[in-house]
Structure 1
Amino acid sequence: MRVETKLFLYLFVFFIPVVLIYGFWSKWEEPIGVTALILTALLFALSGFYLYMTGKKLPLRPEDNAAGEIEDAEGNYGYFVASSWTPLWLAGSAAVMFAGLAIGWWLFIIGAVFAIVAVCLWVFESFSGEYSI
């Protein structure tokens, strides 16, 4: 977790001068932007601290070894469906739902029905048990 820890802590260090630059640029008259940037910096600090403390308790991963080989991280990453059209149908129904927000609720409801069907198909796509589709 060293890479992730460094990433978050570097972003924390980056946002500290950004807060000062933004504050001086806006003459400290716009408090929302300064507050948002301070909270962003603190969020990166909190995430980096958490990853640092968690990384101390765990053994080194193959990604953390500078002399590591590709074979060190090989293994089973899970089962993934080779090809599926279901995400396309889900994205299309989401597009219809978003268009329904601008056009009318009747179109949103039609898109929601298609989205529910697409999510059910996607969930049970690789299921081969009693309730398979």
Structure 2
Amino acid sequence: MKVEAWIFTILTVFFLIVTPSYWLVTHETTGTAALTLTFFLSLMITGYLTLISRRIDARPEDKQEGEIVEGAGEVGFFSPHSIWPLLCALTLALVMVGLVLGWWMVIIAGALGMASLTGLIYEYYRGDYAH
């Protein structure tokens, strides 16, 4: 987390310098307000990451002598041959088309979406791959 905190510290200092410079050059209130809010957002994220980096144990990438092997671990399980993500994507496409053509298609896509999402969630609770 220390690397991320340093990156946002650099960003915060950048916006601290750029915001008054922008105001002096352009005298534009909208852009200056946006840069000021961006500075405070960056400051907030910097403070959060700094506090969190003090509270948690150092990650392998935060250590000076950290090894790549220390950061290795289980990435996760990815379904090798599932049709359900495709059906969920098609449902989302149908919802977007429905927003253009008419609400009746969104309602139909919502019903299909419930079915495809249920199939995706409960895929490994029945059949050959039940656990």
* TM-score between the two structures when normalised by the length of structure 1: 0.76
Distance 1:17 1:42 in 2: 13
Aligned residues: 128
C-alpha distance 54-107 of structure 1, shift in aligned 2 (>3 A): same
Distance 2:85 2:20 in 1: 44
Which residue in 1 is equivalent to 2:39?
A: 41
Runs of 5+ in structure 1 lacking a partner? Answer: none
What are the equivalent positions in structure 2 for 1:43-58 lying under 5 Å apart? 43-58=41-56
Runs of 5+ in structure 2 lacking a partner? Answer: none
Distance 2:82 2:27 in 1: 54
Match of 1:95 among 90, 93, 106: 93
Note the aligned Cα RMSD (angstroms): 2.5
Distance 1:96 1:26 in 2: 46
User: Which protein has the bigger helix share?
Assistant: 2
State the 1:18 CA deviation.
4.4
| Identity value in percent | 32
Match of 2:117 among 115, 119, 132: 119
